[in-house]
Structure 1
Amino acid sequence: MTNSPPPASPGPRRPSDRLLHLAVAFVGIGVLAVIGIFATPLVTDGRPGLWLYLLAMLVPVGFLLALGYALWSGRRAR
């Protein structure tokens, strides 16, 4: 049996990967808030709270972060 080298590790993460994860988290939280806005009148007699509307505003913020990630990671390395 021959000794084969261990598989290479994926390497350190780039800082731009954090931006993508943050963007996905913001969009996910915002979508859950939108679902909560529509589900609140179905479940209760009350109106959705202001905090749900503020959390729903994370969707466009996440979209802008994802757009920034796409533009930043698409640059050619020098």
Structure 2
Amino acid sequence: MFALEKLNLNELAILRNAIYTKHGYIFSKQEYNEYFQKLDWYTPISQDIELKLTNTDNNNIKKITDLEKRLKKIRI
């Protein structure tokens, strides 16, 4: 089993955004565009992908986001 708690904030952000990439999300942040453009399976299509996200996608995004928030509080 994969333990999210072992990841740092940057790794969590990449993992969270990878969920969006599988639906062809075009990122507004240059750092994510540059990161995901290197992957041969990533095909940017649209910024409007909310309706394409599954319940599992949304649940995973929430889990990752919640952990990111907790880690950011610890860093303050």
* TM-score class, shorter: 0.3 to 0.5
**Normalized against structure 1, the TM-score is what?**
0.39
